[in-house]
Structure 1
Amino acid sequence: MKVSTSQPFQIVYSLLEHEYLGYLFESYVVQRNPRGQLTLQHQTVSVKNAPEFAAGLDTIDFELIALTDQIQQDCVIKEFWPKKTTPADFFFKIYDAEKGDKALQEQIARYVQERMGQILVRLGGKCVFIMGKDGEPTWREVSLADEPASVLFHFRRNEDNTHYFPTIQYKGQKLDFQFKNAVVVSAQPAWLLVSDVLYSFRNDVDGKKLQPFLNKKFIIIPRQVEDSYFQRFVAPLVESFDVHARGFDIRSERYVARPQLTFSDVPGALVVTEEVPRNGARNGPLPPSAAPAVSSGHIHFDLSFRYGDHTVPNSFDKRVSVKLEKTADSYIFHRLIRNIDHEEAMIQELADRALEVRNGRAVLEKATAFRWLHSHAEELSRLGFTVQQSTTSGKDYFIGAITVEVGITESNDWFDVHGTVRFGEFEIPFVKLRSYILGRRHEYRLPNGQIAIIPEEWFSQYLELFAFSEENDNALTLRKHHLALVSDLQNGNLATVTMSRKLEKLRGFETVEEQAMPVGFRGKLRPYQKAGYDWLHFVKDYGFGGCLADDMGLGKTIQTLALLLQRKESGDSSGSASLLVMPTSLVFNWMSEAFKFAPSLRLLIYTGTYRDKNVEQFSDYDVVLTSYGIVRLDAELLKTYKFDYVILDESQAIKNPSSTTSQAVRGLHSRHRLILTGTPVENSTMDLWSQMSFINPGLLGSQAFFRKEFLKPIEKGKDETKTRKLHALIKPFVLRRHKAQVAKELPEKIEHLSYCSMTDEQAQCYEETKSFYRNKILRNIEEHGTASTQFMLLQGLTKLRQIANHPRMADETYEAESGKLREVIRMIRSVVAEGHKVLVFSQFVKHLDIVRASLDEKQIEYAYLDGNTRDRHKEVARFQENEDLRVFLISLKAGGVGLNLTAADYVFILDPWWNPAVEAQAVDRAHRIGQQRTVFTYKFISKNTVEEKILALQNKKIQLVTDLISTDETIIKSLTKKDIEELLG
């Protein structure tokens, strides 16, 4: 029957017994008559329809309705049985006496009991009834007791057995509950229904302890099971409840709580040692939950407290701890009253010292644990702690004082490292720890067999010292280029250091001393270049190798040439040549720069198939120019000569330490070593190791050490501390200037010519084409004059220009490489790696297509613009605004004017032609209002081609080229027969 909300109604909670689920509550609304009495008109109320009756409900009612919903039969089935089923099938299957699922029954019981407990504590002041057998929800009203009752458990021990029964007290009076049709409505916590009153209990009584006595006076405990029953059942009762005993003693005892910290390395070990007192009392075992499994790489501490002769684990959660003692003819229950406040104060003392004890246990990594013990053992003793090792521990550990003293003394060419480690009474040479520190092995066996744990901080403090030092006859030596490490050890009070005045001066230097320029140097170094020249002297004077890592275009070449010229003029080279190793494509550029700035240097170009493989000739020269490929081929031969300098240009060529090239250059002999690169790190931190190990062997330790201690933490872990440490190690030997740092010293525009050698296949293709057109054009000139050859000349020059770029532009079947493309891609990669942006211009769309394909292969992102590009402004905006987009390929005709590309500060002209005005317009895409940086322009010229000849012709007819020539046609018309012969010569 529906209850009207327009008439008075009442929310009630009705108790019923379910065949399988036990006692449950259901929520109802009942209609009241005009006299306020409850009628038979009622309906169930649930979360779904409760809002209809909101006027008669309060917040607690809504909570109760939700809870009663959760324990209804259908809800329970849905919670524990996701498959579709009927209640009859569910209960028959789960609660079958023989085949039922006992585990699931227990889960369901816990679920129901938990919610029944929540319902019962909320029923105060509510209308509560027992449901009639006919389903009438208001059959008999019940009330809730005003206050909790208490239980007293009685034991009567006689000669034959022990009687056990409980009594209940409510408001100071005994509550008669036996044989009164009382029922345990909820077991945990217990709620008892007696004479229509619901009673709760103090001390969280388990209803199962009352259930047997509802219709029984007492339980008899036979003498033969007395021992186990008293231990398992009576002792816990004495801990938590009031117990009255006859025939045995219960003694309440108070003692000073003495903290006891026991440690062990055995996983899951029972660390608290239970001692048997003189009177024979035995402590109970730790519960399993108090001994979690711990890995063998850890130490676990167990905190307990000694009360008299008894040990109470801190994991024990009751205020009273009971220890059972069996006497000759009876039992004594020692009821230990714990001082919880004092225990918590001791736990806080440990927490203040960074040992967090939870549930009686703390776990620390082994090295951390012993560092903690070494630091706090004396303090803990003063606080009253007993610190001891468990008898279950797998090893006998040393926990005494540990100290270390390290001394570093400068020798002739290295540092001598010596030291002593003291473990209590034992003195161990410092060198004995080398393999332990490098292998991160913490355990060191002392002469007496004990295991000492090497302090964790030593693994970071002395790791580099051991990694970078060399061991000979139980002595350690360290190279002098590890001066920064020695200083760090001294500054950290980790070592005492003795060194010469010269090295002391180096440690405190603030500026590099000025050096005189060589007399024969042509030109003038910019201030930052002069500083670089001075720095090259600085690292040389201290016997270190150096890395000049200026950005591309800042003049690493001329700084190096000035140094080499000074070596020649001063006689410091002792008649030995210096070896300059570089990519093949740079040999001509170095030669040109040397002729221009240091013409007195005697150069030997040691390249080519027909080179004279005789190292004795080197002494007749100042500088030997060669390529990485030649060094790789002639490695054994070149090892036999001791050079003054070995200098590697574009030293990222040895970034792979296991490559044949890297191994070859590391095998060369020289007094000094220098590397030049704009990108010391291209792909991996290992690039740095390889190059630094060339100039200063051992600086960064072994390859395996570097990979483990620097590469992985930096690249995978983004470890800033390791990054700073690595930077500190290499900083004295690397001079790196970015373009932005020296911007004030640079002109607005700087132009470079980059000469590129053709590959053998490319050169053959070029010569064949040149011969064909030369013969054809010169014959035509003889017969008809220069005017009639203009078209043929333009056609021939265009074909030769294409081959000079890449023969595939003229012949799609060509499959070999192009020297220019190789150099262009190398320089693009360098610029991108240095964080700059570059505009790449070509007059030929076909050339741009070839460059695009190569960039795609190298996975370098780029913007692109030619005459067919529709949305020019979108591509420009993409390049200008996207920081990660660093390359813009542009057709000279389509992008020579009308574009603002100030994000770029490098411009590459891939195929220079007659009219400088056209190139200037391209450069001005970057060099215009809004540009904050110097613009570097590189023109790529294929050596021994028409491109080089055009440059020479420009220089001879500079006025014509700059002032008069505006079109290719005008240029061609102005050429004489001699000019044409030179172009095609």
Structure 2
Amino acid sequence: MDKFIVVLTKNRHLGMLAVPYLAEDLADSSSLTLNEKVNTENPVCHGYDFSAKELDLLKTLNKLSDRYLFRLFSKDDSIKAFYDNLDQNNFEKFIRPHIEKYMSVCFDKLAKCPQVPIYFKDSGYSNLYKSDVISIYEKDVEPVFYFDLTGDGLDYSLKLKLAKGDLALTHKKPIIITHSPCTLLIREKLYRIPGTDSKKFLPFFEKKHIKVAWRSVPKYMDTFVTNAIKNHHVVASGFTINEDDTRPTASLWLERDITHLTVLVLKFKYAQKEYLANSHSGVAVQLNHQNNKPGYDNYVFTKYQRDITWENSIVNLLTSLGLKQRSGAQFVPYEESETAETTVSIVSWLQENRNTLHKKGVPVIQKKLDSKYFIGDFSCHFESVKKSDWFDLQMRVKVGEFEIPFMKLRKCIINGINEYHLPNEQIFIIPQEWFTKYGDILTYAEEKDGKIRLSRMRYGLLDHPTDQKYTDIKSISSQSDIPVPASLNATLRSYQLQGYKWMHYLHENNFGGILADDMGLGKTLQTITLLLKIYERHGLKPNETRPPQQINLFEPSTIEGFNTSALPTSLIAMPTSLIHNWLSEFKKFAPSLKVYIYTGANRLKSKEIGRIIRHYHVVLTSYGIVRNDIEYLQHYKFHYFILDESQYIKNPGSKIYQAITQINCHKKIALTGTPIENALTDLWAQMNFVNKGLLGGLSFFKRQFVTPISKANSEEQEEKLQRLISPFILRRTKDKVATELPPISEQVVYCDMTKEQKKIYESEKSGIRNELLKTFENQSTDKSTFLALQGLTRLRQMANHPRLVDAEYKGESGKFNLIINNLKSIVQEKHKVLVFSSFVKDLELIEEVLLKQKINYSKLTGSTKNRQQVVDYFEKTNDCRIFLISLKAGGVGLNLISADYVFMLNPWWNPAAEAQAINRAHRIGQTKSVFVYRFISTGSIEEKIKKMQEHKSELADTFINSNNPFKNLDETEIKALFL
């Protein structure tokens, strides 16, 4: 029956190897029959029942197989080529060390697996004899050195330390199985000697001892004997070896490494002997050479057993305090890279941990650097004293025995200079905490009359302002008792009341602010409330109202009035398309405020414009007018200058921005739903408008905030910027105030027609009116009503976009442009919108733009076949945020609760049908507030219909109850629509 054996034999290419075999042991034979070499990669192929230990042993032996070595070390095509091209240098350097490593592992496993016999096969014999069986000494063996020092010199020998006595090697014909670590075969016994190579034993194979001449003894004692005592057992004669239990000490040395970077080097000292922390020896040895006898040298060795447990506790202490072991005994702060200059961080670490190091008895030694750094006690006392418009900043810094002048320290912190030279030539490293805590304060502060001052609008940089007024503006303002003007024709919701109080608080403290509420939360109403409050406080009578106006939908209204308050007029600039909306809101919510519209080709262009506008409380104008007429407007000092959609001034280099900065005013407010459209400089432009200088100059802002935040994702600078602007910007999104909102909010958006649109519209309207007058003279009322209905439809289409009527029209549409811009904002803010139109062609024009700009959308018209699929796509696809719907096709039968905006592009004959369309989003299951926007082209039939609905209830009833708006109108009423 086969048995599993391991054979030690010499391979002519690879040297001594351990090879596994399956062998047959015949009772009547003195030799073994080697049936086959075991396939170490797939031992189960032999059908032999290997035990778990044997299989584990085979995994190790596999690393010694020809195939494994070939794959690991050869680039040749075959094993034969591998052996033929074997380079001796590479073999000794790489292959043999690999073999000896796994031979040693193999012997360790064989020592624990006695059921596997081991045989030594001499390469000179072809047979393997049973008598060649060997065993492994059960434990690792250590060498023991015998030294005998006499007047003639030094004799020494080397033996193996065994349990029953030391074993000499001489004349026992040892066979070296592995060189490093050394494994020796001596008389059928295998001895494993880790930590020692075979070279030490070779001289003693043939002779008992080695003689060292007297002249070489001093050097030999200082090197070889010292190392032997340190690393091995030694039996000495003629000199003394003492054991010492002196307690060690540790020290940190501030030095430079070979790359000239500053490091901390940890050293341990035993009596007079000092060791680097990465020294691997567990024993320290010190030699004292004394001449106390004539002609005879007396050598005394002191052996210190190193306390590795204690040394590791020191290393663990340093790592727990934030150091990492970088190279051997070198330590640097944990966050430092391999190539970063570390002086500042190391000295800062030493300052921070100096007390802990002192308690643990670890001194810091500075001897090898050009400069000496201060490591001691220091303090900083900082306080701010409130004055009228600024804070006086006071800082007292003490470093050791020295007091540092505040002005000099400020320059260091502002310029990022960490090192400050003390009078005693030591260098004080300014703590990084001071740069973080005081850097922004000192950066924005100013030197004046030998003092450091900080503008009060930058109070947010102070941790604890000394005046309660300068704490949290938003919190303080929300608690203030500022009643809403009694004459306001509106009830403010809680978040609108908070916004009003916040703006009023800024007003009282002469700050500017940015109201950046989400689209549809009532920024206009909050601003009107503030203006009404201010003007009422200064003389406006709450019961002042405008005289009745003659309704004329085709010409802008001129509102007459007189500013009876003691305040100058306020100016509000906005995109042209919003002017009529603001006018409507003033009339609706604050009719006592007199409003002047400063637009149009017939506006007064004169430096004397102030003589007219001073009679009004509010002037409404556009950004374009401000830009074009700044030479006139800059001569009047307004009370408030308010910007709506203030992102229009986001480019500081634009003419609009340059113009608005020239407007003379007492106070400023900016309104926007998107304070940052493209970059952080958008925010700078708007904040610099309301609070000039708060964020520094543009180049400073880019360097201080834009680059660190946009390119380096600096959370620290982002937090600093938030602290600066937070008091002066208020932003609420619909999600945050949803519980405060009504179930639905509706708003009319007035849109000015472009010049080309207005021209073609007026021409079309004139033609319809003339044709209609002829029809009323010559045809029946029914015929005239039909023509009026056709004409009304064409004008409604042209109010949306003339291309709905004339495919060759190349111009633009004011309403269409505004709709597209609003759609982009909604997509950018990640909302969803339903876009309803009476005209499919209207939706197709929008579709063209969305396709060009690669904006995802859904579309539902009367020709849509897969209605449910289109609806599901909109409801379930996150990046599909626009749903184009024709009123007739989508007014009923749809559940679209993922949308929270509804756009009505043109007035529908029956408002009830509009309500049904709106209810597609505003229905059970909707969790978001729904905002409805009705787009009306100013100066068009759309505005005429809306105003007639407001002022004539019977006409409103007509539109509510019928799809034919002319059913109950007489000839005079129909003609009035086209005048």
Q: TM-score range by the shorter chain?
A: 0.7 to 0.9
Matched, 1:306 2:306: no
| Matched residue SS, 2:591 | coil
2:312 aligned residue (335, 344, 348): 344
- What is the alpha-carbon distance in structure 2 between the residues aligned to residue 251 and residue 525 of structure 1? 93
- What is the alpha-carbon distance in structure 2 between the residues aligned to residue 137 and residue 914 of structure 1? 112
- What is the alpha-carbon distance in structure 1 between the residues aligned to residue 466 and residue 950 of structure 2? 63
1:45 aligned residue (35, 38, 45): 38
How far is 1:539 from its partner? 1.8
- What is the alpha-carbon distance in structure 1 between the residues aligned to residue 5 and residue 472 of structure 2? 94
Instruction: For 1:116, give the aligned amino acid.
Output: M
Do the aligned residues in 2 keep the contact of 1:370 with 1:455 (CA within 8 Å)?
A: no
Match of 2:21 in 1: 28
Change (3 A) 1:861 1:654: farther
1:431-442 matches, within 5 Å, as: 431-442=407-418
- What is the alpha-carbon distance in structure 2 between the residues aligned to residue 36 and residue 571 of structure 1? 128
Instruction: For 1:30, give the aligned amino acid.
Output: A
Match of 2:556 in 1: none
1:666-685 matches, within 5 Å, as: 666-685=661-680
Matched, 1:599 2:591: yes
Match of 2:396 in 1: 420
1:850-869 matches, within 5 Å, as: 850-856=845-851, 860-869=855-864
2:105 aligned residue (110, 114, 118): 118
- What is the alpha-carbon distance in structure 2 between the residues aligned to residue 605 and residue 179 of structure 1? 120
Matched, 1:384 2:337: no
Do the aligned residues in 1 keep the contact of 2:477 with 2:505 (CA within 8 Å)?
A: no
Instruction: For 1:383, give the aligned amino acid.
Output: K
2:644 aligned residue (633, 646, 649): 649
- What is the alpha-carbon distance in structure 2 between the residues aligned to residue 589 and residue 216 of structure 1? 113
Instruction: For 1:769, give the aligned amino acid.
Output: E
- What is the alpha-carbon distance in structure 2 between the residues aligned to residue 648 and residue 835 of structure 1? 25
| Matched residue SS, 2:22 | strand
Do the aligned residues in 2 keep the contact of 1:153 with 1:244 (CA within 8 Å)?
A: yes
1:889 aligned residue (884, 888, 892): 884
- What is the alpha-carbon distance in structure 1 between the residues aligned to residue 45 and residue 79 of structure 2? 30
How far is 1:647 from its partner? 1.1
Change (3 A) 1:385 1:928: closer
Deviations 1:164-205 (A, max 9, x none): 65233434444343344322111222110122221123x622
Change (3 A) 1:108 1:233: farther
Matched, 1:128 2:114: no
Matched, 1:629 2:613: no
- What is the alpha-carbon distance in structure 1 between the residues aligned to residue 853 and residue 215 of structure 2? 87
1:375 aligned residue (348, 352, 356): 352
Match of 2:185 in 1: 193
Same amino acid, percent of matched pairs: 37
Matched, 1:59 2:26: no
| Matched residue SS, 2:109 | coil
- What is the alpha-carbon distance in structure 1 between the residues aligned to residue 279 and residue 345 of structure 2? 27
How far is 1:13 from its partner? 0.3
Match of 1:143 in 2: 135
Change (3 A) 1:745 1:18: closer
How far is 1:831 from its partner? 4.2
- What is the alpha-carbon distance in structure 2 between the residues aligned to residue 523 and residue 168 of structure 1? 104
How far is 1:245 from its partner? 6.2
- What is the alpha-carbon distance in structure 2 between the residues aligned to residue 983 and residue 485 of structure 1? 60
Between 134-143 and 893-902, report the one with greater CA deviation: 134-143
Matched, 1:315 2:282: no
Match of 2:383 in 1: 407
Do the aligned residues in 2 keep the contact of 1:467 with 1:702 (CA within 8 Å)?
A: no
Q: Number of paired residues?
A: 932
How far is 1:86 from its partner? 3.9
Instruction: For 1:477, give the aligned amino acid.
Output: R
Change (3 A) 1:697 1:323: farther
Between 135-144 and 747-756, report the one with greater CA deviation: 135-144
Deviations 1:505-529 (A, max 9, x none): 9798474433355465445545554
Deviations 1:360-394 (A, max 9, x none): 33211544433332233244334332211241x35
1:577 aligned residue (552, 569, 580): 569
Match of 2:819 in 1: 824
How far is 1:654 from its partner? 3.2
- What is the alpha-carbon distance in structure 2 between the residues aligned to residue 162 and residue 734 of structure 1? 90
Match of 1:461 in 2: 437
- What is the alpha-carbon distance in structure 2 between the residues aligned to residue 627 and residue 160 of structure 1? 113
Change (3 A) 1:588 1:221: farther
Do the aligned residues in 2 keep the contact of 1:149 with 1:171 (CA within 8 Å)?
A: no
Change (3 A) 1:205 1:516: closer
Do the aligned residues in 1 keep the contact of 2:156 with 2:209 (CA within 8 Å)?
A: yes
| Matched residue SS, 1:384 | coil
1:478 aligned residue (450, 454, 469): 454
- What is the alpha-carbon distance in structure 1 between the residues aligned to residue 485 and residue 108 of structure 2? 98
Change (3 A) 1:934 1:30: closer
Match of 1:278 in 2: none
Matched, 1:72 2:65: yes
| Matched residue SS, 1:121 | helix
Do the aligned residues in 1 keep the contact of 2:477 with 2:502 (CA within 8 Å)?
A: no
How far is 1:78 from its partner? 1.4
Match of 2:78 in 1: 85
Between 477-486 and 305-314, report the one with greater CA deviation: 477-486
- What is the alpha-carbon distance in structure 2 between the residues aligned to residue 558 and residue 964 of structure 1? 29
Instruction: For 1:616, give the aligned amino acid.
Output: G
Between 461-470 and 890-899, report the one with greater CA deviation: 461-470
2:330 aligned residue (361, 372, 395): 361
- What is the alpha-carbon distance in structure 2 between the residues aligned to residue 929 and residue 346 of structure 1? 68
Flag structure 2 segments of 5+ consecutive residues without an equivalent.
337-341, 540-564
How far is 1:964 from its partner? 7.4
1:108 aligned residue (68, 92, 95): 95
- What is the alpha-carbon distance in structure 2 between the residues aligned to residue 961 and residue 710 of structure 1? 55
| Matched residue SS, 2:821 | helix
Match of 2:507 in 1: 540
Change (3 A) 1:951 1:621: closer
| Matched residue SS, 2:581 | helix
- What is the alpha-carbon distance in structure 1 between the residues aligned to residue 40 and residue 596 of structure 2? 97
How far is 1:157 from its partner? 7.4
| Matched residue SS, 1:817 | coil
Change (3 A) 1:146 1:517: closer
How far is 1:222 from its partner? 8.1
Change (3 A) 1:44 1:474: farther
1:438-453 matches, within 5 Å, as: 438-453=414-429
Instruction: For 1:631, give the aligned amino acid.
Output: V
Match of 2:521 in 1: 554
Flag structure 1 segments of 5+ consecutive residues without an equivalent.
1-7, 270-292, 491-496
Deviations 1:65-88 (A, max 9, x none): 12222112232121112441343x
Do the aligned residues in 2 keep the contact of 1:639 with 1:668 (CA within 8 Å)?
A: yes
Matched, 1:808 2:803: yes
TM-score (norm 2): 0.85
Change (3 A) 1:737 1:345: closer
- What is the alpha-carbon distance in structure 1 between the residues aligned to residue 502 and residue 314 of structure 2? 61
Between 854-863 and 573-582, report the one with greater CA deviation: 854-863
How far is 1:593 from its partner? 1.9
Between 835-844 and 906-915, report the one with greater CA deviation: 835-844
